[in-house]
Chains A and B, each alone.
Chain A
Amino acid sequence: MNPEDLRYADSHEWVRIDADVGTIGITDHAQKQLGEIVYLELPEVGHMYDAGDEFGTVESVKAVSELFTPISGEVVEVNKGAIGEPGIINDDPFGDGWLIKLKVSTDVEIGKLMSADAYAEYVREEEQEK
């Protein structure tokens, strides 16, 4: 379900680290909760963020969610394809539906994020509360 090689934040973003670049997106659970996505607001390349900062918003017809970066870094790439066709986030949230890539400034934060199993458990607990 949730890819093993990714790490997860409790605000339902995932991050994949390749060398010093972190790719960030939202999880399959998140896209299901939102429903069909109609609009995406992402930052410009060059923006700097600390872990936990808001970097954009994602909107469906009935909801809007802020996007929070799980790690600190500088934006080096933005998924323009997703901005033009936001539905790709629903179709492929862990792949082509990626949102931004950051040049990672520190390794420390990745350890604070959840593994795929821990995230799955976290989602189960959240659902129970409903």
Chain B
Amino acid sequence: MLSAIGVTSIDDLFAAVPAAVRRGPDLPAPMSEIEIRRFLGGMAKKNANARETAFFLGAGVYNHYVSAIADQMLYRAEWLTSYTPYQPEVSQGTLQSIFEFQTHVCLLTGLEVANASLYEGASALVEALLMAERLSRGKTRAVLSAGIHPEYRETVRTYFSNLGLEIVEVGLGPDGATDAKALAAAVDASTFAVAVQSPNFYGIVEDWNAGSAAAKAKGALSVAVVAEAVSLALLAPPGEGGADIACGEAQSLGVPMHNGGPLLGFLACRTEHQRQIPGRLVGQTKDAEGRRAFCLTLSTREQHIRREKATSNICTNQGLMALASNIHMSLLGKQGLREVALQSHAKAEYVKAAIAKIPGFRIPCTGPTFNEFLVEAPEDAAPLLERLAARGILGGVPLSRFDPKDTRRFLVAVTEMNERAELDRLVAALTGRAA
């Protein structure tokens, strides 16, 4: 090969690289596959996981059922090792799967157009807000409910820090839902978007109509945020509640928790706004012989063509996770998705009622919850939960993780994966304070 190229050594091919910058890495010797298994396996064992504990953690990532076939299908080389479908003739599998995913998202959200995925919930919210800002032509204020996940709001602040945009946060009422009066008051003529999450960070089911009415009154767009997407199978879809854009996290629909990534961001909107949607879009068309076929479309919105005027800088998104979710949503279907939602809700209600009866514990919010709820303990929550963890129960997420001053409260998430014995174990452990 070297003679075909016309050099005597591979080193000749690096002639353009100055000697001053050449340096080999100070790394250990190569490992064999067996050694890699030991190396990484050793680290994996140091982590608690949902399969080996009574598991009640949520706050943006949920432990839901993922079918064997949804996982195993991803091992297929044609799915795993294929590239972005820029060449439609050799990517019809990926393209059709994305088209189906886009459709699933529309069916669940009640909106008309959805994209091929975004990174995860927080950046999806950012993209939704920036989309609303572009459509508003010159408005500068975004009104966000304090019920939106704190890491989502922090991400918005990071992205907005240099764009000359204003963020106004609206607090929650005693029931745990966004204060509707305060929300309406915060929206003015300079507002381009009003964003509300449901179920919100504290698990409370909100009424999409409150946010969309407040937005509409002053000519802003209404953004609906969803962090627990299984809820879409039971709760009123954002599109029917007046939302213009729905966005958030679809991880709970077929994607493993993976320690918080990769996840699956989604975004859906009305047809009239589709040209401003960020991310990839797959459209239906025909091939030269009249067969139905699919391809990426409206690419002129995207960075590789529009560059600094693009709707987003996103390129690689979450393709394989969208496939996993498509398989999952297709397999469970309308009945299965609903049943997962009903089971999650019923089990959460059962354990919520039982915890409410434990002396010293209370459920501070009065609003309805879906599958996650806030608990106030009679002592600091983080150490209490650590004692439970030592007994194999991951009983909840202490809010002190997000706000060090919020020491007594914790979030409990329940899904169809929690059998009754676990629910009873959690209640018993809290009752005995895991002493």
Contact = CB atoms under 8 A, between A and B. Distances in A.
A and B touch in the complex (CB under 8 A): yes
Interface of A: 39, 59-64
Interface of B: 275, 297, 299-300, 305-306
Contacts of B306: 64
Contact of A63 (B275, B297, B305): B305
Nearest to B310: A64
A60 B297 CA distance: 11
Q: Most chain-B CB neighbours within 10 Å: which of A62, A63, A64? A: A64
A63 B305 CA distance: 6
A64 B302 CA distance: 10
Q: Most chain-B CB neighbours within 10 Å: which of A60, A61, A62? A: A61
Nearest to B300: A64
Given A39-B300, A61-B297, A63-B305, 12 more contacts: A39-B275, A59-B300, A60-B300, A61-B299, A61-B300, A62-B299, A62-B300, A62-B305, A63-B300, A64-B300, A64-B305, A64-B306
Nearest to B296: A61
A59 B275 CA distance: 12
Contacts of B305: 62-64
Contacts of B275: 39
Contacts of B299: 61-62
Contacts of A60: 300
15 contacts: A39-B275, A39-B300, A59-B300, A60-B300, A61-B297, A61-B299, A61-B300, A62-B299, A62-B300, A62-B305, A63-B300, A63-B305, A64-B300, A64-B305, A64-B306
Q: Most chain-A CB neighbours within 10 Å: which of B299, B300, B305, B306? A: B300
3 A-B pairs closest in CB distance: A64-B300, A59-B300, A64-B305
A71 B299 CA distance: 31
B311 to A, nearest CB: 12
A89 to B, nearest CB: 15
A53 B306 CA distance: 19
A39 B305 CA distance: 15
Contacts of A62: 299-300, 305
Contacts of A39: 275, 300
Contacts of B297: 61
A52 to B, nearest CB: 18
Contacts of A59: 300
B114 to A, nearest CB: 20
A63 B300 CA distance: 6
B271 to A, nearest CB: 15
Nearest to A63: B305
Nearest to B297: A61
Nearest to A66: B309
A60 B275 CA distance: 14
Nearest to A61: B299
A71 B404 CA distance: 62
Contacts of B300: 39, 59-64
A84 to B, nearest CB: 16
Q: Most chain-B CB neighbours within 10 Å: which of A39, A59, A60, A63? A: A59
Contacts of A63: 300, 305
A60 B305 CA distance: 11
A42 to B, nearest CB: 14
B366 to A, nearest CB: 50
A119 to B, nearest CB: 26
Nearest to B306: A64
A64 B309 CA distance: 11
B336 to A, nearest CB: 38
A60 to B, nearest CB: 8
A61 to B, nearest CB: 7
Contacts of A61: 297, 299-300
Nearest to B301: A64
Nearest to B304: A62
Contacts of A64: 300, 305-306
A59 B297 CA distance: 12
A62 B300 CA distance: 7
A61 B299 CA distance: 7
A19 to B, nearest CB: 34
A62 B299 CA distance: 7
A64 B300 CA distance: 6
A67 to B, nearest CB: 14
A63 B298 CA distance: 10
B272 to A, nearest CB: 14
Nearest to B275: A39
A128 B305 CA distance: 23
A85 to B, nearest CB: 17
Nearest to A57: B300
B332 to A, nearest CB: 36
A90 B321 CA distance: 40
